[in-house]
Amino acid sequence: MNRFWRTLLSTGALAVVACSAPEAEPGTLTLLPAERIAAVEVPLSTNVSVALVDSSTACVVESYEVRVVCVRNDGSTVGAFGREGEGPGEFDGALRLLRGSNRRVGVSDGDRLTIFEPSGTILSSVQVPFLFRPMAPFGQTVAGAYDMSGSATYTLPVAEIDLESGEFVQQRLLPHPSNLGLPMECERGYTTGALDPAGRMAFATCQSVLVLWDGDDVVTFKDPTYASELPSETDVETHRERWRLAFGAPPAESQMLVYAETPKWVTVGGRSLIYDDWGRLWVALQRDRHEFSYFSIFSDTTYVGSVRVRDRIEGYDLLGSTLAVLVDRLPDDPAGIPTRGVDWYRFEPPGPY
């Protein structure tokens, strides 16, 4: 049992802390080097999930065909598998991808997690809580959150699950910081979180707040690069299309007007927070997302710099010093159709290490 589970399951009292971000002019960036080394086209999709199974192979979801496609950074296809259904190798519901040890990829749909080789060979399947959202790569167990809704007394269930038996190894209910005495701009709601090997968990909430659970401490902090920004025309149209696909009809124009006049969250949708192999927290930002997209990187709660990538980020994954970014490439002509791709980057590890 790692330090996270030992401390969170102890009877010690929680400490809650609100941290001030380093002084910086809102919107100021300190760019860190990252080199794009490959760019591969993948099928159009509304799904934002992507998983690296090794440094040169990434898997994405082709939502219109309800299948997973795994590609190498030279453009070749390793596997394309799945279809709509409830049987072995079939998918029902929103798909989420996660890297596993030994070049495995996990596909979560509804209340099931199926483990595949990137070629499409099924290795195992296990029942998980409904709408399970993995928070870290899996080995013999997988950790994640599984209930993203609630009331003003909102708590988030987080569990570690044995992938052979499906049994809970550990479980914890995380209250929202507003229920721990911290002044917050909202009373509930966490994004999909990130868990590092040392046991820290990170989430985003309340539009621009980041939350770090570390042992007995609950810390809230903000990204010093965040600057209030309204949705772009692309953001609005993307929101409209995803609403239509989710609910079978477009949203009311009054709802779209509220969306268009509400400042964007600091993070993108989907799995926006990931810990790298050096324990640094990466946060994929809503900032810009036209010609370029941005990540903020933190050591604990200290901002250490940003990475800029091309095009409109929708999802990403990290493995060693490899960054894979799922992007929509917006056409120069506003009437044109975007294309979708996965770009591979090499970034500088922190030193010394």
- Helix, strand and coil content of the chain, in percent to the nearest 5, comes to 10, 45, 45
CA distances from 211 to 41, 177, 189, 337 (A): 35, 8, 11, 37
Q: Spell out the domain ranges in the chain.
A: 3-229+264-347
Instruction: Enumerate residues 6+ apart whose C-beta is below 8 A from 337.
Output: 44, 331
Beta strand residue intervals within 117-233, DSSP E: 122-127, 133-134, 141-145, 155-162, 168-175, 194-195, 201-205, 209-214, 217-222
pLDDT tens string, the chain, 353 residues long: the values are: 443 343 333 323 333 444 433 344 456 789 999 999 999 999 999 999 999 999 999 999 999 999 999 999 999 999 999 999 989 999 987 899 999 999 999 999 989 999 999 999 999 999 999 889 999 999 999 999 987 554 445 688 999 999 999 999 999 889 889 888 888 888 888 889 999 988 999 999 988 999 999 877 899 999 999 988 899 888 898 888 888 877 888 899 999 999 899 988 899 988 999 999 999 999 999 999 989 999 999 999 999 999 999 999 999 999 999 999 999 998 877 777 889 999 999 999 987 64
Alpha-carbon gap, residue 109 to 123, rounded angstroms: 16
**Which fold does the domain 3-229+264-347 belong to in CATH?**
Neuraminidase (2.120.10)
Count CB-CB contacts under 10 A for residue 46: 16
Please tell me the pTM assigned to this model.
0.89
| Closest to 223 measured CA to CA, from 242, 206, 246 | 206
Length of the chain in residues, anyone? Answer: 353
Gyration radius from the chain CA atoms: 19
CB 148 within 8 A of CB 156: yes
